[in-house]
């Protein structure tokens, strides 16, 4: 009787939530449906099962994680415990760190949210010559 116990399985959306890749399951589902998550090299549905040994590729916010599932946890735990659920490929980690460094170096322009601040507006007016009191 050499029957092995089946490996534990969990839905990929639940696992991504428990591993703290997404703040809510709904965000995880939206990412999966949008093609941002691949399981074992294939596009997945939120109900797709993952088990220890499964490989995931997660694209989120311009960053990519290539990970291998090490453990299953149905409950969301602190980040230090969630990090034990997976192992990231070294090449993936280095690419992600390089991308973060590039983003930091680019920085954000003042008023990058689309609307200039009062200070920015005054600088624009001085530069374009509009708003002068002698007009």
What pLDDT is attached to residue 111? 43
Residue 60 falls within a domain, yes or no? yes
Residue 117 falls within a domain, yes or no? no
Domain limits for position 10: 1-93
Return the half-sphere exposure (C-beta side, CA atoms, 13 A cut-off) of residue 26. Answer: 0
d(CA 89, CA 110): 36
Residue in the block written with tokens 């991504």: 16
| Total domains present in the chain | 1
Residue 104 falls within a domain, yes or no? no
Q: What is the pTM of this model?
A: 0.74
Average pLDDT for residues 49-76, to the nearest whole number? Answer: 94
DSSP 17-45: HHTTSSSSHHHHHHHHHTT-EEETTEE--
Q: How do residues 49-59 score in pLDDT, each as one tens digit?
A: 999 999 999 99
Asked if pLDDT for residue 108 goes beyond 70, the answer is no
Return the half-sphere exposure (C-beta side, CA atoms, 13 A cut-off) of residue 127. Answer: 6
The size of the chain, in residues, is 135
Residue 108 falls within a domain, yes or no? no
6 vs 2, higher pLDDT: 6
Average pLDDT for residues 106-125, to the nearest whole number? Answer: 76
Alpha carbon of 2 to those of 5, 8: distances in Å? 10, 18
Asked if pLDDT for residue 1 goes beyond 70, the answer is no
């Amino acid at each position: 009787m050499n029957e092995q116990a089946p490996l534990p399985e969990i839905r990929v959306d639940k696992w991504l939530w428990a591993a703290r890749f997404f703040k809510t399951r709904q965000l995880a589902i939206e990412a999966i449906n949008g093609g941002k998550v691949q399981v074992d090299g294939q596009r997945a549905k939120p109900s797709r099962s993952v088990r220890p040994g499964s490989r995931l590729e997660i694209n989120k916010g311009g960053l990519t994680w290539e990970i291998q599932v090490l453990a299953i946890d149905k409950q969301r735990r602190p980040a230090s415990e969630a990090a034990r659920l997976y192992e990231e490929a070294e090449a993936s980690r280095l690419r992600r760190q390089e991308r973060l460094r590039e983003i930091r170096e680019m920085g954000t322009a003042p008023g990058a949210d689309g609307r200039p601040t009062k200070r920015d507006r005054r600088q624009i007016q001085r530069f374009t010559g509009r708003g002068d009191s002698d007009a």
